[in-house]
Amino acid sequence: MKLLKAPLFWLIVGVTAIFALLPLLSNNITLRETLVLSAIYIILAANLNLMIGYTGYVNFGSIVFFGLGGYLTLWLVGSHHWGLYSAVLVAGVSVSALAFLLGIGILRLRGAYFALATIGVNEAVKDFVSNFDVWGGSEGIFLPFTAYKAMGGAGKALWTVYLLIVLVMGSSLLLSLAVRRSKFGLGLFAIREDEDAAVVLGVKAPLYKTLAYSLSAFLPAIAGGLYFFKNGSVVPEEAFNLNLSIEAIVMVMLGGQGTVTGPTIGAFLYERLRGMLLTIPGLSNFHMVIAGVLLLLIILFAPGGLMGWLYRIWPRLRRVLE
Amino acid sequence: MIEIVSSILDGLLIGLVYGLASIGLTLIFGVMDVVNLAHGAVISLGMFSLYFFFGAGLHPYLALIPVAIIGFLLGVLIYQIAVRRILDGPPLMTLLATFAVSMIIVGIGTALWSTSPYNVNFKVQTLNIFGYTVTSARLIAALAAVLVTFMLYYFLYRTTLGKAVRAVSNNREAAELMGIPSQQILAISFGIGTALAMLSGALIATLFPFTILSGSIYELKSFVASVLGGLGNPTGALFGGVILGLIEGSVAPFIAISWTNVIEFVIFVLILLFFPTGLLGGRK
């Protein structure tokens, strides 16, 4: 495997291990709850980057995968008494398949039209779920406490779920790296630069785009399943929160779209920034404003994000961090 | 039966207001190929401006004039700060930039006015037209929307400035060669588009209670309506708004109101897929 020789591969493994071991060894639950949020943000940003950064299609509604994954998992675990592992896997595969079917349709749209359709998809799914009685309508699904029993009680289950989320985070980053180095990834980059030229050169653009869209749905759906299992409940407003989608875009742009490292750093920094703002009285209401100003400044003055800036002042960095 | 016809009539009238909002969106797209994602936030601002002018003692319909002027200035400001610099870059950048503007406006609005509903309270009469009742506010809102649309058409087709807007919309380089200052025209167009959004927001505020987040609903309706009529085509946008209103009006008596959004989004995606240039054909 060529991938094993990449320095970034080992960096990803190392970061994932730190995320897993740091709270586990110190048995620090506060730290775990902070890191779980970072991990979720990194998962969302890294997978969104497959669309925005690699393929050049802005997906405003990427959160729909996360939410649907959460709903499917809780429904399978709660109403059908499935185990967590099989439930999240089935959720991931079904959401990914759904994204594939959806992608065949909406990826015929380009640029702004596609972006608008993704907002529409998220809002339509949210409204649909809010009216869908099988999934509890606007009340959502609450997991009975007994659901945690199979995993050795709630306390132990939360640790297991945390480690699984960190695992999904590591997989997301490795997926980004693997796609970037593959022929498939090169095809996506070609589509980003000039879709018509790519088609002329033999890139199967419709198939590639749809695969990228479907791929970007898989791990967020699993993460959604784990996250809402951990919370014990899921409601439409939280599962399909368009703001979180938008914040994921800010993270991707902040770190640097199209790179593997960028969205991760962006997500981590954004989570820290957000946490800081929420604790400062008087500023807690302004976190969306600050995110907006941040996004605007990046777009206007540093479209390459943090990684673009780092590459410029230190070109050799490209060899290590992709 | 009377209920259904009234509901459809209501839908037609509100559809004209949707149409006005859609024209604002479609005008900006037509002139500079920018999908303005700050549209919904500006609609909310229109609602709140009307609320505050009304609170200051101005008659709500008179307040439309200052609302339009504020909207125009705000649009020029948004264009100069967030759009001008990246207009020739990748289209996704303008999409994200206008979205950032929307986040800023909605964020400030939420901090100032929270997300609880506001209401413009003034005396409303019900009118009886051939046995069907409509409220006067709805009728006036629809008439105002039609009036503003006529004024826009007069501006675009009968004045020199309006002709310059159309010229820049057709071909910016050629327009510049003819001595049209395209940057100013683009700023003016963005201003007009924003003013129309503010006006439609103000008209909606005379009909329904609203929050700072309400704009996003009407933004999506504007997208659906503009796409129905063909993005970039103002007549189409008005037509799309009316169709949307009629659909809402005709399904309202039969299904729960919370389903209308689902239906609209499904229509939206279907139209995008099967008639990407809209029912009336897009720009040019």
Q: How far is CA A232 from CA A65, A146, A147, B222, B273, in A?
A: 18, 11, 9, 38, 38
Question: What are the respective helix, strand and coil percentages of chain B, to the nearest 5?
Answer: 75, 5, 25
Q: Using a CB–CB cutoff of 8 Å, tell me whether B91 touches chain A.
A: yes
Contact A71, A141 (CB under 8 A): yes
pLDDT value for A147: 80
Q: Is the pLDDT of residue A308 over 80?
A: yes
Residues 26-85 of A with CB under 8 A from B: 52, 56, 58, 60
Pairing type for strands A233-234 and B132-135 reads unpaired
Residues 54-83 of B with CB under 8 A from A: 82
Q: Is the pLDDT of residue A1 over 70?
A: no
Q: Using a CB–CB cutoff of 8 Å, tell me whether A309 touches chain B.
A: no
Task: Report H helices in chain A.
Answer: 7-26, 29-49, 63-80, 84-106, 111-130, 153-181, 183-193, 195-200, 205-231, 236-239, 242-255, 261-279, 287-301, 305-313
pLDDT value for A246: 84
pLDDT values of chain B reduced to their tens digit, one per residue, 284 residues: 777 888 888 889 999 999 999 999 999 998 988 889 899 999 999 999 999 999 998 888 999 999 999 999 999 999 999 999 998 887 778 888 998 999 899 999 988 998 889 988 776 777 776 666 777 888 889 999 999 999 999 999 999 999 999 999 988 999 999 999 999 999 999 999 999 999 999 999 999 999 998 888 898 889 888 888 887 788 889 999 999 999 888 887 787 777 777 787 778 778 877 777 777 665 54
Q: How far is B265 from chain A (nearest CA, A)?
A: 6
| Contacts of the segment B174-177: beta carbons below 8 A, 24+ positions apart | none
Our count of domains for chain B comes to 1
- pTM > 0.95: yes or no: no
A197 confidence band (pLDDT: 50, 70, 90): very high
* Residues in a beta bridge with B126: B135
Interchain CB distance below 8 Å, A300 and B97: yes
Mutate to test the interface with A, among B22, B36, B104, B213 (most CBs of A within 10 A): B104
Rounded to whole angstroms, the Cα distance separating B24 from B193 reads 4
Rounded to whole angstroms, the Cα distance separating B52 from B50 reads 5
Least-confidence region, from A45-54, A130-139, A225-234, B183-192: A130-139
Q: Using a CB–CB cutoff of 8 Å, tell me whether B266 touches chain A.
A: yes
B283 found inside a domain: no
Mean pLDDT, all residues of chain A: 89
Q: Using a CB–CB cutoff of 8 Å, tell me whether A317 touches chain B.
A: no
Least-confidence region, from A24-28, A115-119, B259-263: B259-263
Q: Using a CB–CB cutoff of 8 Å, tell me whether A186 touches chain B.
A: no
pLDDT value for B81: 94
Mutate to test the interface with A, among B26, B80, B220, B262 (most CBs of A within 10 A): B262
Q: Is the pLDDT of residue A216 over 90?
A: yes
On chain B, the residues whose CB falls within 8 A of the CB of A132 are none
User: Does residue A233 sit in helix, strand or coil?
Assistant: strand
DSSP B82: I
Cα distance between the two ends of chain B: 42
B281 found inside a domain: no
Task: Compute the CA torsion angle A68, A70, A71, A77 (nearest 10 deg).
Answer: 140
Range of the domain at B53: 2-274
Q: Using a CB–CB cutoff of 8 Å, tell me whether B97 touches chain A.
A: yes
Q: Is the pLDDT of residue A82 over 60?
A: yes
Q: Look up residue A29 and give its two tokens.
A: 């639950």
Q: What is the per-residue pLDDT across A236-255, written as a single tens digit (0 to 9) for each?
A: 989 998 888 888 998 999 99
* Residues in a beta bridge with B129: B132
Interchain CB distance below 8 Å, A295 and B266: no
More confident residue, A117 or B184: B184
Q: Is the pLDDT of residue A108 over 90?
A: no
Rounded to whole angstroms, the Cα distance separating A236 from A242 reads 11
A304 confidence band (pLDDT: 50, 70, 90): confident
Q: Using a CB–CB cutoff of 8 Å, tell me whether A167 touches chain B.
A: no
Q: How far is A276 from chain B (nearest CA, A)?
A: 17
Rounded to whole angstroms, the Cα distance separating B258 from B67 reads 31
Interchain CB distance below 8 Å, A127 and B261: yes
The residue type of A114 is: F
User: Does residue A234 sit in helix, strand or coil?
Assistant: strand
B184 found inside a domain: yes
Contact A93, A78 (CB under 8 A): no
Interchain CB distance below 8 Å, B95 and A115: yes
Report the CATH number at residue B186. Answer: 1.10.3470
Interchain CB distance below 8 Å, B35 and A115: yes
Rounded to whole angstroms, the Cα distance separating B15 from B13 reads 5
pLDDT value for B284: 40
Element at B134 (helix H, strand E): strand B132-135
B279 found inside a domain: no
A299: nearest CB among B91, B93, B104? B93
Mutate to test the interface with A, among B29, B103, B273 (most CBs of A within 10 A): B103
Contact A316, A303 (CB under 8 A): no
B280 found inside a domain: no
Rounded to whole angstroms, the Cα distance separating B96 from B98 reads 6
B217 found inside a domain: yes
Rounded to whole angstroms, the Cα distance separating A272 from A275 reads 5
pLDDT value for B123: 67
Who contacts B49 (Cβ-Cβ below 8 Å, separation ≥6)?
A: B63, B66, B67, B70, B198, B201, B202
Rounded to whole angstroms, the Cα distance separating B116 from B136 reads 26
Interchain CB distance below 8 Å, B272 and A115: no
Rounded to whole angstroms, the Cα distance separating A90 from A69 reads 9
Task: Compute the CA torsion angle B132, B138, B144, B150 (nearest 10 deg).
Answer: -50
SS (H, E, C) A151-217: HCHHHHHHHHHHHHHHHHHHHHHHHHHHHHHCHHHHHHHHHHHCHHHHHHCCCCHHHHHHHHHHHHH
Domain range annotation of chain A:
12-241
Of how many residues is chain B composed? 284
